[in-house]
Chains A and B, each alone.
Chain A
Amino acid sequence: DAGVIQSPRHEVTEMGQEVTLRCKPISGHDYLFWYRQTMMRGLELLIYFNNNVPIDDSGMPEDRFSAKMPNASFSTLKIQPSEPRDSAVYFCATLSGRGDTGELFFGEGSRLTVL
């Protein structure tokens, strides 16, 4: 398996523009998590899905952020409009079955810079 695949790897955009980040999970993994990482705040959970259904979106910072998982092989995180404080690395991670085994598989991340 190719692992969790994220795109784009890097994006530089201007304030006010729409940003869409994409994630292809590992086949068969029924949990998908979106995290954001910054120097100041570390890794923060934004939202997670179970079998394509959003379970907990309490970490989504505000209405400018939205996430979807239309099917088991694809998820998007959208920021509209983007702001400089959204600059961060966004990770998608997936998990098979129970979480107490602990092995979240992360993608390589999407590094977003909003000017």
Chain B
Amino acid sequence: RKEVEQDPGPFNVPEGATVAFNCTYSNSASQSFFWYRQDCRKEPKLLMSVYSSGNEDGRFTAQLNRASQYISLLIRDSKLSDSATYLCVAYYGQNFVFGPGTRLSVLP
């Protein structure tokens, strides 16, 4: 079993749709969690951190449930420019463990 697992995708959604990504992690020692975005043939970049209380950054909302070891990312009013692969990341002891990613295509 992989340490961080994500919806396999791909997700193909129309512009304006709301899309949710799910992620689970197996290491209960994980301290912090993040969502990274990776455009095609580019490097990953930090999208947002995930806090236990939930956090929002514009159209993006991240949630963490430590009891269930579950993380989510919600994108509202999706744009064409949101098309990318979204990587869930668990951090512990200076080790960043990346999930396999979920690819999103936002269609016109």
Chain A contacts to B: CB under 8 angstroms = 31, 33, 35, 42-43, 45, 48, 50, 55-56, 91, 99-104, 106-109
Q: Is the CB of B46 within 8 A of A43?
A: no
Contacts of A35 in B (CB 8 A): 98
Q: Is the CB of A108 within 8 A of B101?
A: no
List 17 additional contacts besides A45-B95, A55-B94; criterion CB under 8 Å.
A33-B96, A42-B99, A42-B100, A42-B101, A45-B97, A48-B94, A48-B95, A50-B94, A91-B43, A99-B91, A99-B94, A99-B96, A100-B91, A102-B46, A102-B91, A104-B46, A108-B43
Q: For the complex, what is the distance from the CA of A87 to the CA of B90, rounded to whole Å?
A: 26
From 56 to 105 in chain B, residues with beta carbon under 8 angstroms from any chain A beta carbon are 87, 89, 91, 94-101
Q: Is the CB of A43 within 8 A of B44?
A: yes
Q: Is the CB of B42 within 8 A of A99?
A: no
Contacts of B97 in A (CB 8 A): 45
Q: Is the CB of A103 within 8 A of B94?
A: no
From A50, which residue of chain B is reached at the shortest CB distance? Answer: B94
Q: Is the CB of A107 within 8 A of B32?
A: no
Q: Is the CB of A100 within 8 A of B31?
A: yes
Enumerate 13 A-B pairs (CB-CB under 8 Å) in ascending A order: A31-B94, A35-B98, A42-B98, A43-B98, A56-B94, A91-B43, A100-B32, A102-B34, A103-B46, A104-B46, A107-B43, A108-B43, A109-B43
